[in-house]
Amino acid sequence: MKIVQIITLGHELYGAQKNVLDLCEHFQKKGNQVTLIVGTKGKLTEAAEKSGIRIVHLRSLIRSINPVTDYKGFRDLIRILKEIKPDIVASHSSKAGIIARLACSYLKIPNVFTAHGWSFAKGIPEKQRKIYLQIEKWVAKRTDQVIAVSEANMLLAKECNVMSLSKIHVIPYGVLPQPRTDSYRLPADSSPLVLTMSARFSHQKDHLTLIKALAELKHYNWQLNLLGDGELQPGIQALVQESGISDRVHFAGNVSNVLDYLQQTHIFVLITNWEGLPISILEALSLSLPVIASDVDGIKEEVIDEYNGFLINQGDVEQLVNKLSLVFNKPELLIEFSKHSLEHFEKNFRLDLMLKRTESLYEQMIQTN
């Protein structure tokens, strides 16, 4: 097969980019001709190039809506696809998904869009939601198939009447199992419980609620690692300083050794405003970590409340304080949660399951074209 994967941001290596990289490497290893088209270059493209993936930098593919540049991106992509002559085009992220599906419709190339998290998800600013919902309904007519990474994503498309559900296939993310360097265990009496959150400092994530909650829990013995960077980091750093907890909050930056941090973690935390199906949580589950996370979108499929962690309402500081207090007072709960996390991961979120389902869909689409 000749396969094109296309995503807007190639300079990052977060959830959607990790999924794209896994797909590129899998299909390349199986002898397919894979091309990765990106709007920006960086961490994703560097990793892909190491695996021998062909990279095409489409500079006119930008994240924000700009009619002039977007039309140029559409024309540029048509030119590139005519040269490649792919059997199928898989697009990721809202902007790449729009441009790619329009170009594929024009060229009559089978196309599949992965909704890593709809651009009209609840939690996104209302004006932006309405604009993208109308665009998505319009582009849906030119869409062959959609991969929803969670049941919640599929149900949101149904609720908003975006497209026929016959076009939507739920294929959850998968990650490689990560062996622990040591079995999960609670810290010694004098050592802190280590919490880790791996997320960009952006409007999508809710570091603010987490810091406000922990500021009320100074009397407990804990340490927080914040992995990631972003435009809102200075404001969170200022809040940490004002709250008097700067000695217990470590801003690690956009690290490449996330799994090393997770090996030393007792509770993984993801407090956020909207999501698709966070890969960061799946990585935590693969290492048997209990999780405390916001109950938004597909997270409830990863974290089963009171089974392998706790879910809190979006932005609810008081509820987060209560859940953290519970595990600080009864840390033995974490041992049971840890066992359940690994069981849940093995059953539902292994990388080989995701790759098998995606490959089957691609082959079916090509055969029926």
CA dihedral 81, 85, 87, 90 (to 10 degrees): -20
Whether 180 maps to a domain, the answer reads no
d(CA 280, CA 283): 5
* Over residues 268-276, mean pLDDT: 94
Whether 100 maps to a domain, the answer reads yes
Instruction: Clarify whether residues 197 and 323 are in a common domain.
Output: yes
Average pLDDT over all residues of the chain: 95
Q: Indicate the pTM of the whole model.
A: 0.87
Q: What is the pLDDT of residue 329?
A: 96
Whether 297 maps to a domain, the answer reads yes
Q: What range defines the domain where residue 280 resides?
A: 193-348
Whether 242 maps to a domain, the answer reads yes
- Does residue 117 have a pLDDT over 90? no
Whether 188 maps to a domain, the answer reads no
Q: What does the pLDDT look like over 213-241, one tens digit per residue?
A: 999 999 999 999 999 999 999 999 999 99
Q: What is the pLDDT of residue 121?
A: 86
- Does residue 181 have a pLDDT over 90? no
d(CA 366, CA 224): 48
Q: What is the pLDDT of residue 369?
A: 77
Q: Please count the structural domains in the chain.
A: 2
Whether 158 maps to a domain, the answer reads yes
> Which residue intervals of the chain are DSSP H helices?
15-29, 43-50, 67-84, 94-107, 126-140, 151-159, 207-215, 233-242, 258-263, 279-286, 299-302, 317-329, 332-348, 351-368
Q: What does the pLDDT look like over 126-153, one tens digit per residue?
A: 888 999 999 999 999 999 999 999 999 9
d(CA 53, CA 25): 7
Instruction: Clarify whether residues 105 and 233 are in a common domain.
Output: no
Q: What is the pLDDT of residue 203?
A: 93
Instruction: Clarify whether residues 9 and 158 are in a common domain.
Output: yes
Confidence band for 106, pLDDT divided at 50, 70 and 90: very high
* Over residues 194-218, mean pLDDT: 97
- Does residue 112 have a pLDDT over 90? yes
Q: What are phi and psi of 246, to 5 degrees?
A: -65, -25
Whether 184 maps to a domain, the answer reads no
Instruction: Clarify whether residues 266 and 169 are in a common domain.
Output: no
- Identify the CATH number of the domain in which residue 228 sits: 3.40.50.2000
- Does residue 180 have a pLDDT over 90? no
Instruction: Clarify whether residues 333 and 355 are in a common domain.
Output: no
Whether 183 maps to a domain, the answer reads no
Q: What is the pLDDT of residue 195?
A: 98
Q: What does the pLDDT look like over 18-70, one tens digit per residue?
A: 999 999 999 999 999 999 999 999 999 999 999 999 999 999 999 888 899 99
Q: What is the pLDDT of residue 14?
A: 84
d(CA 135, CA 18): 26
Please enumerate in sequence order all residues whose Cβ is within 8 A of that of 127, keeping only pairs 6 or more positions apart, or say none: none
Q: What is the pLDDT of residue 79?
A: 98
Instruction: Clarify whether residues 341 and 354 are in a common domain.
Output: no
Instruction: Clarify whether residues 65 and 32 are in a common domain.
Output: yes
* Least confident piece of the model among 52-61, 272-281, 305-314: 272-281
Instruction: Clarify whether residues 13 and 147 are in a common domain.
Output: yes
Ramachandran assignment for 91, one of left (phi > 0), alpha (psi -120 to 50 degrees), beta (any other): beta
Q: In the chain, pLDDT over 70 holds for what percent of residues? A: 100
d(CA 262, CA 289): 8
Instruction: Clarify whether residues 222 and 315 are in a common domain.
Output: yes
Q: What is the pLDDT of residue 271?
A: 98
Instruction: Clarify whether residues 10 and 134 are in a common domain.
Output: yes
Instruction: Clarify whether residues 339 and 354 are in a common domain.
Output: no
Instruction: Clarify whether residues 229 and 334 are in a common domain.
Output: yes
d(CA 222, CA 92): 38
